[in-house]
Amino acid sequence: MNDTPEPSNEPKPLNKNAEWQLPNKAEWQPPLPDRPSSPNAASNNSAYGPRDERAPILRWLISAILLIVIAGGAIWLASKVIVPSQLPELSGRESAATDPSPVTPPTQPEKTSDEEAWLRALEKDTLEGYREYLAAFPDGKFADNAQDEIDAYDDRAFATAEQRATIAGYEDYLAAWPEGRHASQARERIAQMKARADAIAKDAAERAAQEKADWDAAARANDVPAYQTYLSKHPSGPNAAEAQSRIAALQASAADQSAWLAAKAANRAQSYEQYMTSYPQGVYIPQAIAALEQLKPAIGRAFQDCPTCPQMVTLPSGTANLGAAEGEADARPNEGPQHSVTFSNLFAMGVNEVTFSQWQSCVSEGSCSTQPRDNGWGAGNRPVINISWDDAQGYANWLSQKTGHSYSLPSEAQWEYAARGGESSAYIGGSQQALCAFANGANQESGVRWANPACSDPASDRTLPVGTLGQNKFGLKDMIGNVAEWTLDCNTLNLRDAPANGEADLRGSCGQRATRGGSWFSGPADLRYSARLMQRRGDSNDFTGFRVVRKIAN
């Protein structure tokens, strides 16, 4: 009796870790087919012929072929359904065992809930999906994988915060990942950025306070240097534009003020007009207009058309008896008869005789060529001497061109009308004694026989600076004495038929021109209002000068 157990056709149990397992092909033998009984089978093996031997071999071949087909199909099916990494591995003992039992085709195992959850997480592929899996299976087979995916989301969120590099960016990260991998870094970043922001805010506040203090100081000073100092410290400060504006205004105002002070110092119509032209919106326009109004030629009002021009005064119109009165002491034949002259057109006359300084302005501008000598008496404000009639007329023409007004030498009538100032006596002041207060003539110190014994002065042999002595009722000075003054009139035998309107008498010998007023060398006889002396127009000497008149438009 054979004790070897019969081979079983039941499949051996699978490995506990495997879902299913094919039986080892070496352990399995197909069952032999039952052989037909034969009366001689037990005692005579020779009764079994070759024909009987072929039948079992054929069945075995067929069975082997079927087994191979089934095994191949099972393997193919498993490769289509089961993940290769999840195929169960056969243990060495089981793979070596021989199971002669018939193999049944394997079936696809059912997936566990862990795997299903992981598959769902993979299908979603979202942060929530991985978190849901990890929440359900904190110790699951794929927990590490899920955590890796979650960490990747965490890293990407922090990278976004780093790119934003703002407090809000890091706060957004912490709101989403309060316990994230980079939470501590995010909080450090926020703390650092807030500290920097606080420092910047503090610095800005300090700078703003300093800027305000500097601006207040500049505004109190309110001058160009103060605003320039502010701008040097705060070139882009909130008050920089205002500082620039105020500097411009102050500079304009300073220039305005400087021009006004210059015009006021000159106190001339031309200077005020120049100021008004240069600064039509100037601060001092009202004052300039008022000053100009005061300087406009008006009766009794002095004015000056340019800084180097003679000062003029406008005389009133009127009628006067001119020439020597009948019976006037020391009168000459050519000084009469006395006749009435009416001045209907206003004119202005120089307050003083033309000085050396004023003459030099004409020379400097190239309009006058003569360089007169001052005899060593001094030039400057003394009346110019050693000037011919033609020289004096040239100076008057220069004034006309320079100012645009009509200047000339006075006519004899204009000169006497201005000198008298409404007086009818023979002498200024009414007598020879009174003459001393108004006229620089030959006095007792001169030693000449025609000297005025009533007068004494420190310049007995020379001129005095203009304006040294008193003025007449029209505001004119030195009309009598100091220097004789050229006029326009030609030499005539007398004043009969002289123009009654005050114009020059050009009927006589015009190679000679009349001079009026006497000089420092003259005695009382030549210091009368009506005294006339004739000189050749080309002559010049140290006792003759001139003054000018100007027409005044009505």
DSSP notation for 175-231: HH-TT-TTHHHHHHHHHHHHHHHHHHHHHHHHHHHHHHHHHHHHHHH-SHHHHHHHH
Closest CA to 27 of 10, 45, 41, 4: 10
Please report the pLDDT score of residue 360 as a whole number. 97
CA distance 130 to 134: 6
> What is the H or E stretch that residue 37 is in?
none
Please report the pLDDT score of residue 266 as a whole number. 79
Please report the pLDDT score of residue 268 as a whole number. 72
Please report the pLDDT score of residue 56 as a whole number. 67
8 Å CB contact between 364 and 523: no
Pairing of strands 549-551, 339-343: unpaired
Query: How high is the mean pLDDT in each 10-residue block of the chain (554 residues)?
Result: 46 40 39 45 43 61 84 69 46 44 54 89 93 93 93 95 95 93 94 93 92 94 92 93 93 90 82 89 91 77 91 95 95 96 96 98 96 96 98 98 96 98 94 92 87 83 94 96 97 95 95 97 95 97 98 82
Give the count of beta carbons closer than 10 Å to the beta carbon of residue 519.
Answer: 27
CA distance 304 to 295: 8
CA distance 392 to 485: 10
> What is the H or E stretch that residue 238 is in?
none
8 Å CB contact between 199 and 208: no
Find the helix packing angle between 183-221 and 224-233, rounded to 10°: 170
CA distance 310 to 408: 12
* Nearby residues of 75 by Cβ (< 8 Å), 6 or more positions away: none
* Nearby residues of 321 by Cβ (< 8 Å), 6 or more positions away: 338, 339, 340, 341, 424
Tell me the backbone φ, ψ of residue 252, rounded to 5 degrees: -65, -40
CA distance 505 to 414: 11
Please report the pLDDT score of residue 109 as a whole number. 52
pTM exceeds cut of 0.75: no
Top CATH class, 302-551: alpha beta
SS3 content of the chain, % helix, strand, coil (to 5): 45, 10, 45
> What is the total residue count of the chain?
554
Please report the pLDDT score of residue 459 as a whole number. 77
Residue spans of beta strands (DSSP E) within 472-548: 484-491, 509-516, 532-536, 544-545
CA distance 325 to 74: 169
- CA quadruple 91, 96, 99, 104: dihedral, nearest 10: 50
Please report the pLDDT score of residue 554 as a whole number. 63
Q: Which two tokens stand for residue 543?
A: 């006792």
Q: Is 84 helix (H, G, I), strand (E, B) or coil?
A: helix
Got the DSSP string for 291-357? HHHHHS--BT-EE-SSTTSPPEEEPPPEEEEESPPTT-TT--GGG---EEEEE-S-EEEESSPPBHH
Please report the pLDDT score of residue 291 as a whole number. 85
Residue boundaries of the structural domains of the chain: 113-194, 244-295, 302-551
